[in-house]
């Protein structure tokens, strides 16, 4: 393990996070708020990062092995979470370190579960920082550093693979730094577009930026207590639905579209399944809530569309209190937390691609009972899927469910009721945000005991970094020479 | 610049490595998933799994925007077809193909001009024969690279414990006479670009530059006597062994050729006039002793088996052969061969890589020779008027550590520089530099590595 290099890269990340605090700091100065918390956080983070950077400046061996890459990503995320707690702690808006860390990890992992009971009235600079952690975490802080630090070379690929939420990693351009930069460009462009459209719908620029910062990473932090529902504007909701859906599409596909490759975009098998699952689930929920909760199709469709897309893309905004919906709709939303969106998007969950592969594989097993001598190949589109990928997908599926079960069990042991514990574990692991019951869309996570918060923090990190990257750190063999 | 490499074998791999490290956009196509995986793990390039002879694959790889196509698979036909398709898909792409079949090489013009418009044909076998012959002209050398059209030679040789140079500081070496400059020292895995205080140690591989005419003198000074290449033994009568034997046969040198295979021996005996062809196992110590391997000036091991080649050469050395040339194709063995005491190793793939890189870099930096494992380079560059290095004594120039000027060529004159030497505009310089300082060096020379002129 190349520890000096690992330390150096984590230091760079720390510096990035520090420097990125300048934006909320500027905003808080603009609104005449006390700059202290953000300013001190910025200084401390930059000094800490800078010190390690200087201390490791003599690193000669710049070879980054696969293991080093995994370590950098895991450590980098833990460190970023730590740095992001500083503004909350200095501003004195959260009571304990556990709460601050929960909030900041929930930010970076784009979960959007919050322990803040009152967000309205908090300093605007701080709320922007909260949104910005999601924005940075969505496309990936490591991917960003890969784009900016060209010296990483092939090491960049190791980091990129460890952070990108997808079973297969697309390299769009010959050089990995260009790929990372291309993805960030698409991301930034979509963010600007959403800000523009929201402002056009009479949202204030500040609110528009905060919401765009949390829509595109499928994060879900809002600046209102009642989330997006607080605006009561159909236009704003539909714009946000559109961008949540787009954020759930693989960014490699967005890039292909941007480079004029319409056919690759429309012909993508995963996109089609993603689209149709969304359509079917929206219709089912609409039908279920139309007369039982709302007095007609129109309102029901608007709420159901927003909620299904929000949960399925693992964003977690709310325009309706689905705690009061019929059980069938609640169950659909609960399942949505597991589906997630497309591989290579900013969303969480199991990912549609994995579900497709698992379904095909299962189908072929049944098929082989009918034709025992058949030669079968799992295909994705027209491409055969290598055995190694199938193995990793099965392993992922199994681990995902195992972690969900263990976390939910632990939460009930800590005193949560069954519905709350199950949905809290699913929502944290899937990086969604709200659950049901005591952690429902109009509630929050403040009441969960401290040990439960730490369980959820681990779940969020496992979900965002797709399990393997974190779990491998706990294998003794990983640390052996 | 977008570069497409067809074939991810050793040659393709190393060209991809070199070019991607120079920030080129490299795309590699290969049919073998294992090779593709190896590239993905180690290099920052884009890979495509598929055939380089598929037009669709070439289009996917971006042949339309590519400026260079290197066809380096093991199959001549695949390489030629890839070039043919490339020419059709993009008229302006520069094409380099690796070709083995002698028949194809003989009809070079057919492939270059008439049929396919290939810009460079790489034939490793012919290049290896040439290398061996060149090495024999410079006895004792491990490697000979020509600069400035052969007027300046870059020579490397291995320091034996008995060498008069062993243990000497570089500043002392000047007193030995001979007009040359030590530019780089390979010690185990590392390449040093030495200063005056560094000492030479046994088992070092020393690179120096010298004028072509004074090479023998310089080598004499360095080795304490001039070696003569008279008796040669070649082990392995494959294509390369045969080609070398034929060339030496034409020079009327006494050559012994050993091979195990009956038909090959028969072919050799038929095709060669003076060469003594012996059928037997080259790794058999008794056979080597019987055939007086110990009295040989040169023992060349070019059997098809890498590991056997190394062992045969070691055996030969042990029996008393003065010099050995060993063919080793696996680049991963390169760092340890000098440590084993093998003086000269020829590597067909490395030769191919060097040739290709040499061809595609035709900017102000005129030619480049990667040294061992490619951590350092010897490059030929022109001193521009705008650069900081001209019109000041060399000792005043702020050269990056790890770079040294090995020779200055001014018109017909070749100067081996000292601290007081002043570089003038339009001089050509031969510079040794470790890979790390090349960007700094480019800045200093105010040139960029350019391609295709």
Contact check, Cβ <8 Å, A174/B25: yes
Q: Which residue of B has its CA nearest to A64?
A: B42
Give the C-alpha separation, B88 to B82, whole Å. 10
Mutate: best of B46, B48, B401, partner A, most A CBs <10 A: B46
Give A386's contacts in chain B (Cβ within 8 Å): 33
For chains A and B, count residue pairs whose Cβ atoms are closer than 8 Å.
35
Strands B376-382 and B365-371: antiparallel
Q: What is the pLDDT of residue A150?
A: 64
Contact check, Cβ <8 Å, B40/A157: yes
Give A178's contacts in chain B (Cβ within 8 Å): 25
CB B121 within 8 A of CB B111: yes
* B19 interfacial to chain A (CB closer than 8 Å): no
* B331 interfacial to chain A (CB closer than 8 Å): no
Q: What is the pLDDT of residue A460?
A: 93
Give the C-alpha separation, A435 to A451, whole Å. 18
What is the H or E stretch that residue A383 is in? strand A383-384
CB A320 within 8 A of CB A229: yes
Give B23's contacts in chain A (Cβ within 8 Å): 150, 175
Contact check, Cβ <8 Å, A175/B44: yes
Contact check, Cβ <8 Å, B25/A178: yes
Rg of chain A over Cα atoms, rounded to whole angstroms, equals 22
**B21 vs chain A: nearest CA distance in angstroms?**
8
Distance of CA B407 to the CA centre of its chain: 20
**A153 vs chain B: nearest CA distance in angstroms?**
6
Closest CA to B115 of B137, B84, B138, B161: B84
Give the C-alpha separation, B340 to B351, whole Å. 21
Closest CA to B155 of B428, B406, B338: B406
Contact check, Cβ <8 Å, A175/B21: no
Strands B180-187 and B205-211: antiparallel
* B33 interfacial to chain A (CB closer than 8 Å): yes
Rg of chain B over Cα atoms, rounded to whole angstroms, equals 23
* A66 interfacial to chain B (CB closer than 8 Å): yes
Contact check, Cβ <8 Å, A156/B44: yes
- Which regions in chain A score pLDDT beneath 70? 150-154
Give B2's contacts in chain A (Cβ within 8 Å): 174
Interface of B with A in 222-261 (CB under 8 A): none
Q: Given B26, B33, B42, which is nearest A174 (Cβ)?
A: B26
Phi, psi dihedral angles at B206 (to 5 degrees) = -105, 130
Give B21's contacts in chain A (Cβ within 8 Å): 153
Cβ-based neighbours of B205, under 8 Å, separated by 6 or more: B142, B156, B157, B158, B159, B185, B186, B187, B338, B372
Higher pLDDT, A414 or B101: A414
Interface of A with B in 177-196 (CB under 8 A): 177-178
Q: Which residue of A has its CA nearest to B23?
A: A175
Q: Which residue of A has its CA nearest to B4?
A: A174
Q: Given A150, A173, A177, which is nearest B46 (Cβ)?
A: A173
Query: Among A418-432, B105-119, B408-422, B426-440, which range has the highest average pLDDT?
Result: A418-432
What is the H or E stretch that residue B259 is in? strand B255-259
Sheet strands side by side (includes B376-382): B365-371, B376-382, B428-434, B403-410, B413-415
Interface of B with A in 43-72 (CB under 8 A): 43-47
Where do we find the tokens 């001009």? B113
Would you call A193 helix, strand, or coil by DSSP?
helix
* B5 interfacial to chain A (CB closer than 8 Å): no
pLDDT digits (tens, 9 = 90+) for A152-210: 666 777 777 777 777 777 778 888 888 888 889 999 999 999 999 999 988 999 999 99
Where do we find the tokens 């209190």? A321
Contact check, Cβ <8 Å, A174/B33: no
The percent helix, strand, coil of chain A (3-state, each to 5) is 70, 0, 30
Query: Among A292-296, B208-212, B260-264, B386-390, which range has the highest average pLDDT?
Result: B260-264
* B26 interfacial to chain A (CB closer than 8 Å): yes
What is the arithmetic mean of pLDDT over B49-55? 89
Contact check, Cβ <8 Å, A153/B47: no
Contact check, Cβ <8 Å, B43/A154: yes
Q: What is the pLDDT of residue B371?
A: 64
**A50 vs chain B: nearest CA distance in angstroms?**
24
Residue B401 has pLDDT above 80, yes or no: no
User: In the structure encoding, which two tokens stand for residue B17, read together?
Assistant: 């490595």
* B189 interfacial to chain A (CB closer than 8 Å): no
Give the CA count within 13 Å in the CB-facing half-sphere of A86.
21
Give B47's contacts in chain A (Cβ within 8 Å): 171
pLDDT digits (tens, 9 = 90+) for B256-306: 999 999 999 998 889 888 888 999 888 888 888 888 888 888 899 999 888
Q: Which residue of B has its CA nearest to A161?
A: B41
* B299 interfacial to chain A (CB closer than 8 Å): no
Q: Given B27, B41, B42, which is nearest A174 (Cβ)?
A: B27
Residue B175 has pLDDT above 60, yes or no: no
Give B45's contacts in chain A (Cβ within 8 Å): 174-175
Contact check, Cβ <8 Å, A154/B33: no
Give the C-alpha separation, A148 to A135, whole Å. 17
Mean pLDDT over all residues of chain A?
88
Q: What is the pLDDT of residue B225?
A: 60
What is the arithmetic mean of pLDDT over B37-43? 86
CB A462 within 8 A of CB A471: yes
Contact check, Cβ <8 Å, A157/B45: no
Mutate: best of A65, A174, A261, A388, partner B, most B CBs <10 A: A174
* A156 interfacial to chain B (CB closer than 8 Å): yes
Mutate: best of B44, B64, B189, B402, partner A, most A CBs <10 A: B44
Residue B374 has pLDDT above 70, yes or no: no
Give the C-alpha separation, A426 to A407, whole Å. 9
Contact check, Cβ <8 Å, B27/A154: no
Residue B345 has pLDDT above 50, yes or no: yes
**B32 vs chain A: nearest CA distance in angstroms?**
13
**B432 vs chain A: nearest CA distance in angstroms?**
20
Contact check, Cβ <8 Å, B20/A386: no
Give A154's contacts in chain B (Cβ within 8 Å): 41-44
Higher pLDDT, B238 or A156: B238
pLDDT digits (tens, 9 = 90+) for B57-92: 898 888 888 889 999 998 889 998 999 898 888 888
Q: Which residue of B has its CA nearest to A261?
A: B60
Q: Which residue of B has its CA nearest to A69?
A: B41
Contact check, Cβ <8 Å, A174/B42: no
Give B41's contacts in chain A (Cβ within 8 Å): 66, 154
Q: What is the pLDDT of residue B363?
A: 42
Give A66's contacts in chain B (Cβ within 8 Å): 41
**B292 vs chain A: nearest CA distance in angstroms?**
48
Q: How confident is the model at residue B453 (pLDDT cuts 50, 70, 90)?
A: very low
From A333-342, B190-199, B242-251, the region with the lowest mean pLDDT: B190-199
Mean pLDDT over all residues of chain B?
80
């Amino acid at each position: 393990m190349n520890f000096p290099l690992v330390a150096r890269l984590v230091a760079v990340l720390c510096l990035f996070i520090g420097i990125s605090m300048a934006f909320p700091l500027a905003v808080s100065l603009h609104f005449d708020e006390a700059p202290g918390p953000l300013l001190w956080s910025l200084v401390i983070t930059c000094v800490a990062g800078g010190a390690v950077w200087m201390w490791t400046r003599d690193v000669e061996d710049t070879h980054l092995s696969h293991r080093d890459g995994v370590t950098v990503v895991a450590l980098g995320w833990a460190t970023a979470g730590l740095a992001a707690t500083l503004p909350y702690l200095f501003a004195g808006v959260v009571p304990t370190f556990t709460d601050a860390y929960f909030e900041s990890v929930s930010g970076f992992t784009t979960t959007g579960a919050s322990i803040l009971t009152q967000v309205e009235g908090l300093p605007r600079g701080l709320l922007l920082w909260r949104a910005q952690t999601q924005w940075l975490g969505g496309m990936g802080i490591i991917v960003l550093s890969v784009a900016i630090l060209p010296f990483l070379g092939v090491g960049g690929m190791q980091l990129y693979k460890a952070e990108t939420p997808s079973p297969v990693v697309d390299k769009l351009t010959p050089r990995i730094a260009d790929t990372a930069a291309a993805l960030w460009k698409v991301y930034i462009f979509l963010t600007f577009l959403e800000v523009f459209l929201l402002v056009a719908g009479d949202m204030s620029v500040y609110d528009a930026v905060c919401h765009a910062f949390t829509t595109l990473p499928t994060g879900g932090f809002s600046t209102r207590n009642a989330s997006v529902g607080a605006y009561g504007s159909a236009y704003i909701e539909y714009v946000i639905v559109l961008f949540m859906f787009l954020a759930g599409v693989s960014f490699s596909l967005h890039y292909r579209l941007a480079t004029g490759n319409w056919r690759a975009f429309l012909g993508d098998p995963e996109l089609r399944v993603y689209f149709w699952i969304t359509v079917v689930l929206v219709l089912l929920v609409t039908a279920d809530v139309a007369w039982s909760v709302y007095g007609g199709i129109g309102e029901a469709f608007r709420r159901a569309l927003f909620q299904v897309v929000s949960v399925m893309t693992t964003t977690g905004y709310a325009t309706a209190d689905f705690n009061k919906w019929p059980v069938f709709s609640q169950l659909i939303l609960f399942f949505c937390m597991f589906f997630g969106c497309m591989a290579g998007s900013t969303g969480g969950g199991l990912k549609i691609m994995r579900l497709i592969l698992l379904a095909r594989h299962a189908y072929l097993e049944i098929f082989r009972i009918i034709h025992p001598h058949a030669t079968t190949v799992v295909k994705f589109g027209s491409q055969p899927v290598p055995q190694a990928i199938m193995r990793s997908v099965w392993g992922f599926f199994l681990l995902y469910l195992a972690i969900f079960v263990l976390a939910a069990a632990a939460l009930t042991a800590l005193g949560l009721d069954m519905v709350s514990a199950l949905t809290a574990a699913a929502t944290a692991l899937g990086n969604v945000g709200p659950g049901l019951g005591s952690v429902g869309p109009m509630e929050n996570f403040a009441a969960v005991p401290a040990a439960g918060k730490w369980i959820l923090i681990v779940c969020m990190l496992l979900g965002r970094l797709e399990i393997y990257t974190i779990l491998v750190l706990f294998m003794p063999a990983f640390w052996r020479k | 610049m977008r570069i497409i490499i067809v074939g991810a074998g050793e040659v393709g791999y190393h060209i991809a490595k070199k070019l991607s490290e120079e920030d080129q956009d490299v795309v590699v196509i290969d049919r073998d998933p294992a090779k593709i995986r190896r590239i993905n793990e180690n290099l920052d390039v884009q890979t495509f799994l598929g055939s380089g002879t598929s037009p669709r694959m070439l289009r996917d790889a971006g042949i339309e925007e590519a400026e260079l196509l290197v066809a380096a698979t093991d199959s001549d036909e695949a390489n030629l077809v890839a070039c043919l398709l490339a020419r059709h898909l993009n008229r302006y792409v520069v094409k380099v193909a690796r070709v083995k079949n002698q028949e194809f090489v003989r009809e070079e013009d057919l492939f270059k001009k008439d049929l396919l418009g290939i810009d460079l044909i790489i034939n490793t076998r012919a290049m290896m024969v040439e290398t061996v012959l060149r090495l024999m002209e410079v006895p004792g050398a491990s490697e000979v690279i020509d600069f400035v059209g052969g007027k300046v030679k870059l020579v490397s040789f291995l320091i034996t414990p008995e060498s008069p140079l062993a243990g000497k500081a570089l500043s002392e070496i000047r007193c030995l006479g001979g007009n040359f400059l030590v530019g780089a020292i390979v010690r185990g895995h590392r390449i040093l670009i030495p200063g005056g205080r560094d000492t030479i140690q046994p088992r070092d591989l020393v690179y120096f530059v010298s004028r072509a005419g004074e090479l023998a003198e310089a080598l004499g000074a360095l080795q304490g006597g001039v070696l003569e290449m008279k008796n040669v033994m070649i082990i392995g009568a494959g294509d390369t062994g045969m080609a070398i034997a034929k060339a030496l046969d034409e020079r009327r040198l006494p050559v012994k050729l050993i091979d195990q295979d009956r038909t090959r021996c028969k072919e050799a005996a038929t095709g060669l006039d003076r060469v003594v062809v012996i059928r037997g196992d080259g790794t058999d110590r008794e056979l080597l002793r019987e055939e007086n391997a110990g009295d040989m000036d040169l023992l060349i091991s070019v059997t098809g088996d890498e590991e056997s080649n190394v062992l045969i050469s070691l055996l030969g050395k042990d029996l008393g052969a003065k010099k050995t040339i060993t063919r080793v194709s696996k680049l991963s063995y390169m760092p340890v061969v000098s440590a084993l005491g093998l003086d000269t190793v020829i590597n067909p793939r490395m030769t191919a890589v060097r040739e290709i890189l040499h061809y595609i870099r035709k900017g102000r930096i005129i030619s480049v020779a990667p040294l061992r494992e490619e951590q350092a380079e010897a490059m030929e560059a022109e001193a521009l008027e705008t650069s900081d290095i001209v019109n000041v004594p060399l000792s005043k120039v702020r050269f990056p550590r790890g770079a040294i000027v090995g020779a200055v060529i001014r018109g017909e004159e070749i100067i081996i520089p000292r601290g007081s030497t002043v570089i003038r505009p339009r001089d050509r310089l031969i510079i040794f530099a470790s890979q790390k300082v090349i960007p700094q060096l480019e800045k200093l020379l105010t040139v960029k590595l350019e391609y295709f002129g």
